[in-house]
Structure 1
Amino acid sequence: MNFWQNAVVTDAGIALQSRIINGHTLKIVRAVTGAGTVPPVNLRQQTEVTSPKQEIRFLPASVKGEQITIPVVLENTGWNERYELWQVGLYAENPDGGEILYCLAQANEKKIVPAEDESPGFSITWNFHMQNSNEKPFDISIDPAGMATVKQYNIHSEAIEKLNVEVGDLSSLKTAKKDLTGAVNEVKDEISQVNSNLTKYLPASGGRVSGNLYLDQGFNVFSSGNGSGSSGYLLLAEITVSGNYKNSPIKMEICRRGDIFATDVYIQFANDAGTNPNVYSFYYNNHGMKNIDMYLYRNAPSIWYLYVAKSEAYDNIAILDVKKDMAYMTGVQIKYHGSYTGNIPSGSIKATNYGDSGWVDCSMGNGISANSGTYNRPQVRKMGKVVHLRGIVTNSTTWQTHDSFITIPAGYRPSLNEYFVLQGSGSNRYLLTVASGGKCVAQKYSNNATANNTVPAGSWLSVHASWMIE
């Protein structure tokens, strides 16, 4: 696809060309980007780039036959705000003084130029091709060159320069076992290796990479530091759902400054292949680390906002990765925001922590209560596939076997019965059976001399145990 499909020599440039034919020299003095657009039919009448943003620098020009190629490179070094790139214009020296807009290119879609702190080392390179002919003195077109970043280009240039110095003094490479030809060939091999390594960098314009991929600074899908120093929420993503989806989950990997592990977030919509679906599942797995609250809010039909809570300490939250089923989730589009808000909209849906459930109360049977108030009430907590039970209870009735001692809630129960010998009052012990159906049986109360004793009223019994779930 031709990104710069609207490229023209301006009326002022055409007038300058007629003077070039009469003996004047065309001198290109600078290149400027623009953040605005005009109707394509009005491009030739422009005398300035629309909404000028920044000057971009030239690289050395080359001449091949009748074609002159002028490379220009856009860098965001020192640039503290992002903008939409729509135009690139070349200014030429006016023989009568000053300068004129010689040629102007307008894109058919915007290109985002990020600020330096958002994407360090960002750069784009284009080649301006000027062709001389009898019918039209200069014809101009622009094509994007898939270049590595400026940092990578400089690394490559420094390596070549170092090798050129070695070539300049071949006597330093000549030894008793290496003649001049061998030394030259060695340097050629090194130059070839440097050029080969450069081709393995990911092109700035995207594409497929073969061989090793060098990521010396890493990359994020999206990162936001908005709302730094304030507690509240970040609107990280806008999820649009159309009819072309098959309710597969979307997975996002989110991290915060200060946490050692990232958090996996899973979003699944209901109504297979429907429009404007409800949220069916919304989980996150923080691998047992610090909790992070996330919310989904339907902002409009088929459009959901993803909010992530932040405290003053967490002044930067990033989405490291996003995955979805490319075959079944083509109708889901994700747009990144990163804006801060003090509160989330009413009606937002909170994500369930799949990795750490927190403490959940168990129900107690007849005559059973928490020992010494609510502090020791029986509770379970699920961390991944492991469930832990804690608590100390007391009884107000006497019994040898209690068939519904406590009840474990659904989702925390073992697939097969689990058995535990636990501590009772004094030197007594008893057998606790955690059944797959959730009912817990207390029996075989023993003082080490006699088993199956009656449990006296007012006794205390520990309920601490752990088991795996499927």
Structure 2
Amino acid sequence: MAQFAGMVLTNNGLALQAKAEAGTTLTFTKVKIGDGQLGTGQTLETLTDLIHPLENLPIASVSASGGLCTITATITNVGITQGFYVREVGLYATDPQLGEILYAVTNATVADYLPPNSATTVVNNQFDIVVVVGNATSITASISPSGLVTQDQFNTLESTVNTHETVIASQTQLGHVKIGSGISVQIDGTISAQQFNPLVSPFI
């Protein structure tokens, strides 16, 4: 299992955080992963990009509470033809003066191997990045419409479907009915039967 140290704000990230606390909207744009390692004299704080970026990951969701922000992304090996060790993860944001910057970054002390995509090896993992945002009052993210559904999003949709109110049809109320033997639907949509007892349909 991969082990990463905590996310470190870069110098540009610290400057943007100060702007955000002064009222600038903090907009996260994407996540990058790579296999780079810090060289002699390099520090995470001075990086302006990953050392060796290999893949861009779309942001699925973002939430903030108590001066911390959680960004959810999904890592997949779809489209990857050559595997690599994921040694670095970077979070990017938009600075009003500089454009897109590397906001925060981390290096792995123990890296996981991301294999190439094949019929027998498919990787699809959701993970969270937690960063300090201080007293920033406006935080947004560039959410990818083509991104995979997160577990939280699926759970919310499932709960909505399960609690959906089913309306039972009656002589004066449109709703769900169960069609069985002895009941027929006319061309105009009306139902005729010897005896009509509306039942809850198992299908919504």
Q: Which residue of 2 aligns with 1:8?
A: 8
How many Å separate the matches in 2 of 1:152 and 1:30? 16
Name 1:67's counterpart in structure 2. Answer: 68
Aligned partner of 1:82: which letter? G
Cross-structure match for 2:105: 104
CA RMSD of aligned residues (A): 3.8
Shift of 1:123: 2.0
Judged with a 3 Å threshold, the aligned counterparts in structure 2 of structure 1 residues 122 and 97 are, in CA distance, closer, same or farther, namely: same
Q: Give the deviation of 1:22 after TM superposition.
A: 2.4
| 1:86 corresponds to | 87
How far has the Cα of 1:52 moved from its partner? 0.7
Q: Residues 49-74 of structure 1, C-alpha deviation per residue, up to 9 Å, x if partnerless?
A: 11110111212223445433211111
- The C-alpha deviation readout for 1:448-469, integer Å capped at 9, x for no partner, is xxxxxxxxxxxxxxxxxxxxxx
Match of 2:55 in 1: 54
Q: Structure 2 counterpart of 1:171, which letter?
A: V
CA distance, structure 1, for counterparts of residue 156 and residue 22 of structure 2: 42
- Structure 2 partner of 1:21: 21
Q: Shift of residue 105 of structure 1?
A: 0.9
2:114 counterpart letter in structure 1: V
Highest RCO, 1 vs 2 (Cα 8 Å, sep ≥ 6): 2
Cα contact 2:86–2:113 (8 A) shared by 1:
yes
Aligned CA distance change for structure 1 residues 151 and 122 (closer, same or farther; 3 Å):
farther
Cα distance in structure 2, aligned partners of 1:66 and 1:166: 34
Q: Note if contact 1:27-1:93 (Cα within 8 Å) is conserved in structure 2.
A: yes
Question: SS at the partner of 1:50?
Answer: coil
Q: TM-score, normalised by structure 2?
A: 0.65
Give SS of 1:48's match.
coil
Alignment of 1:319-398 (within 5 A): none
TM-score (normalised: structure 1): 0.30
Distance 1:32 1:21, change over 3 A: same
2:167 to 171, 179, 189: 171
Cα distance in 2 for residues equivalent to 1:34 and 1:163: 37
**Following the alignment from structure 2 to structure 1, what is the Cα–Cα distance between the partners of residues 149 and 93?**
29
State the alpha-carbon separation in 2 of the partners of residues 23 and 44 from structure 1. Answer: 23
Partner of 1:30: 30
Q: Distance in 1 between matches of 2:98 and 2:20?
A: 15
SS at match of 1:24: coil
Residues 291-332 of structure 1, C-alpha deviation per residue, up to 9 Å, x if partnerless?
xxxxxxxxxxxxxxxxxxxxxxxxxxxxxxxxxxxxxxxxxx
Letter of the 2:3 partner, please give it. F
Once the two structures are superposed, what CA deviation does each residue of 1:244-292 show, in whole Å capped at 9, x if it has no partner? xxxxxxxxxxxxxxxxxxxxxxxxxxxxxxxxxxxxxxxxxxxxxxxxx
SS in 1 for 2:61: coil
Number of the residue aligned with 1:122: 123
Matched length: 165
1:95 and 2:101 are equivalent in the alignment: no
Structure 2 letter corresponding to 1:9: L
Q: Is the 8 A contact 1:6 1:107 kept in 2?
A: no
Distance 1:132 1:46 in 2: 19
Confirm or deny: 8 A CA contact 1:62 1:70 kept in the other structure: yes
For residues 6 and 62 of structure 1, the distance between their equivalents in structure 2, rounded to whole angstroms, comes to: 18
Name the CA distance, whole Å, in 2 between partners of 1:22 and 1:151: 33
Alignment CA distance shift 1:42-1:130 (3 Å): closer
State the distance in 2 between where 1:21 and 1:163 align.
36
Question: By how many angstroms is 1:21 displaced?
Answer: 2.4
Q: How does 1:38-437 map to 2 (within 5 A)?
A: 38=38, 42-117=43-118, 119-133=120-134, 157=154, 161=157, 164-165=160-161, 167-172=163-168
Identity value in percent:
22
Decide which structure has the larger Cα Rg and report it: 1
Summarize the Cα distance change of 1:19–1:133 in structure 2 as closer, same or farther, 3 Å threshold: closer
CA contact (8 A) 1:71 1:126 kept: yes
Q: 1:77 touches 1:120 (CA, 8 Å); kept in 2? A: no
| Structure 1 residue 124: Cα displacement | 2.6
Q: Which amino acid in 1 is paired with 2:96? A: P
In 2, the alpha carbon distance for the partners of 1:120 and 1:170 equals: 42
Tell whether the 8 Å contact from 1:76 to 1:122 is kept in structure 2 after alignment.
yes
